[in-house]
A and B are shown apart, each in its own frame.
Chain A
Amino acid sequence: GNSVTQMEGPVTLSEEAFLTINCTYTATGYPSLFWYVQYPGEGLQLLLKATKADDKGSNKGFEATYRKETTSFHLEKGSVQVSDSAVYFCAPQLPTGNQFYFGTGTSLTVIP
């Protein structure tokens, strides 16, 4: 079946620390891969995406690379800021019907 496993939170980091949030998936076919972010009190927003193997999505200093061989799409940022505090969702998008499968979300808190 289709599923996504996301690193459990909550994660607490100091400002300027390095961030990695792991995401692995199982899917029928060849999905597109997305990271969505939910800031406190706001709706889900697209953070970045990659649609084929070895593609790197990037936005706001965040990066993730589509690794087909390990079925992973780990999110990284070299230096986090307090404003990055949010819940991050990994979401493979299936090739049939473009349905998303969301992970459970990883809560990140960055402290000054």
Chain B
Amino acid sequence: EAGVAQSPRYKIIEKRQSVAFWCNPISGHATLYWYQQILGQGPKLLIQFQNNGVVDDSQLPKDRFSAERLKGVDSTLKIQPAKLEDSAVYLCASSTRGVMGETQYFGPGTRLLVL
């Protein structure tokens, strides 16, 4: 079974530029998550989708971050404009139904450096 795919793996941009990340979850997984992991910290949930609807985006900085999952499969996360403090690894995860006790499967992440 293929795992969660993410691209690009690395991205370097200057502040105030825009950037987009892509995620393709495990086939059949209805729930998709985006996390931000700043160096030395644990991952922090940014947004959770159930199929193509948003379940939780309470920690997403909506003035600059946006995410979509239009067809309920793959997803994109965008930052516009980027700030220095956005430098982090952006992780995508998926799970079958999004219920408690269920394992989330993580992709390899996209490492973003904002200069």
Please list the residues of chain A having a beta carbon within 8 angstroms of any beta carbon in chain B.
4, 6, 31-32, 34, 36, 42-46, 49, 51, 89, 91, 93-95, 97-100, 102-105
B42 touches A32 (CB 8 A): no
A-B contact pairs, 14 of them (CB 8 A): A31-B100, A43-B106, A43-B107, A44-B43, A45-B106, A49-B101, A89-B43, A93-B100, A98-B95, A98-B102, A99-B45, A99-B48, A100-B104, A105-B42
16 other A-B residue contacts (CB within 8 Å) besides A46-B103, A89-B43: A32-B100, A43-B108, A44-B93, A44-B106, A45-B106, A46-B105, A89-B42, A93-B100, A95-B100, A98-B95, A98-B98, A98-B99, A102-B44, A104-B41, A104-B42, A105-B41
Please list the residues of chain B having a beta carbon within 8 angstroms of any beta carbon in chain A.
4, 31, 40-45, 48, 55-56, 91, 93, 95, 98-109
Q: In whole angstroms, what is the CA distance A22 to B29 when docked?
A: 32
Chain B contact residues, majority secondary structure? loop
A98 touches B40 (CB 8 A): no
Chain A residues whose CB sits within 8 angstroms of the CB of B91 once the complex forms = 43-44
CB closest chain-B residue, reference A4: B42
A49 touches B106 (CB 8 A): no
A49 touches B100 (CB 8 A): no
Q: In whole angstroms, what is the CA distance A18 to B3 when docked?
A: 32
